[in-house]
Amino acid sequence: MGFSASSSSGFSGTDSKIPRDFPERPPRWTSAEPTRRPWHRAGTRCPTDGTATISAQPTGTGRIVAAAGLPPDKRIYPAQHVPICRPDNVHNEKNGGFRMCIDYRALNKITIKSRYLIPRADELLDQLRGAKFFSKIDLRGGYHQIRVATEDCHKTAFRTRYCSYEYLVMPFGLTNMPSTFEMTMNGIFWELLDKCVIIYLGDILIYSPSREQHLQDLDAVFTLLHKNRLITKGSKCDFLKQELEFLGKVVSTEGVKIDPKKIKTIQEWKPPTNIKELQSFLGFVNYVRRFILNMAGLSAPLTDRLKDHDCFWWGEKHQAAFDQLKIALTSPPVLRISNPDRPYEVITDASDIAIGAVLLQDFGDGLQPVAYESRKLQGAEKNYMVHDKEMLAIVHAFKTWRCYLTGADVTVRTDHKSLQYMRAQPSLNPRQI
């Protein structure tokens, strides 16, 4: 393989978790060159810059050779041009293998960036309304299943103590690789998108309202996988589940909730001792902010602390905010999948430091949360009158949830009565207008 020495196999024999109903399984992972597809694109569209290379460290050269699958694997090839990058490091993987990482920063700097957008995970999960059965498929090797245009292969070159090599497939680290890979996957599964399939890079989620329909949807997915010679990793796939983990969250017939593993990680997180550790904690928590009521207000002391990089100190207010965030994630809610045919209710609030809102719908069992949203007040916003802060919270909620609320029946609830009389004011300031 071009990137890992992992020994786990794809779908084959008794190790496969594919239901027996599907005799046409995806092909196995082999050393053969990946299939050329009509939409494979050049990895970069720029001239090389002639950056000097640095040879691999002696202690890591053998591992680099193994990680790259040298020399029998068809995913790399001896370079015919002067390489412009170098092996940067070899990272150990959880499964006992290792992955080679190459420093492509110089190349990325002069690369024309692709404008193809990667979808937001939260928006993708909104498609699961009414789904009862789920399956998840992981593509083995990810980017390594996509060919690099022949005229661009030399730009991926790297050097070992033995010789220089260039990739025939997309390596990790190039700036346009995620968008190119997403575009390729969307092209392959175009007929199933928004119907029964969600694509996020190398992860495929199949969802259906019934078991019978799910079997049909799986058959359609396997047909496309086999037709396009896409290799799957059986150990990371699940089939015919009513609850499974996808993109760090757990999807089920009830809705979407935080993966319990992430909750445990946050609960066991020790207080930060420097700015970098604090940034890591806030970044981790921010990924699940959709599930936290008043996330911005709770985390305000910690985000304010990021402004001072010269000296790190951890006071009582920081510890209190740290503990409150962990408590908020002790039993996070299950967020329901929105139903555009039902009315929405938006509850907003504002404080001296933040504004927040909750999006709710009644699914026949009372109002249930669909999403939470909050942000800190910025600059002059902190000086607004109370009723202006309350109105700002409403405006922010409608901007954030525009995709839900446009054209829908919406009720807004706020605890500031003066907003009811804003229309009757003899004059409005420019901000209120």
The structural domains of the chain, with segments of one domain joined by +, span 13-246, 260-328, 344-424
How confident is the model over 331-369, as pLDDT tens digits? 888 899 999 899 999 999 998 999 999 999 998 888 999
* Residues 314-324, mean pLDDT to the nearest whole number: 92
pTM of the model: 0.79
How confident is the model over 344-353, as pLDDT tens digits? 999 999 989 9
The reported pLDDT for the residue numbered 116 is 87
* Residues 74-79, mean pLDDT to the nearest whole number: 59
pLDDT higher than threshold 60 for residue 73: no
Classified as helix, coil or strand, 99 is strand
Fold of the domain spanning 344-424:
Ubiquitin-like (UB roll) (3.10.20)
How confident is the model over 156-211, as pLDDT tens digits? 887 776 677 788 888 888 888 899 999 999 999 999 998 999 999 889 999 999 99
**Each residue of 172-194: b (16+ CB within 10 Å) or e?**
bbbbbbbbbbbbbbeebbeebee
The reported pLDDT for the residue numbered 50 is 45
The reported pLDDT for the residue numbered 86 is 61
Nearest residue to 101 via CA among 82, 85, 78, 83: 85
pLDDT tier at 54 (50, 70, 90 boundaries)? very low
CA–CA distance, 237 with 366 (Å, rounded to integer): 35
CA–CA distance, 386 with 430 (Å, rounded to integer): 16
pLDDT tier at 3 (50, 70, 90 boundaries)? very low
Classified as helix, coil or strand, 28 is coil
Compute the mean pLDDT over every residue in the chain, rounded to the nearest whole number: 79
**Percent of the chain having pLDDT more than 90?**
35
Q: With respect to CATH, is domain 13-246 assigned 3.30.420.40? A: no
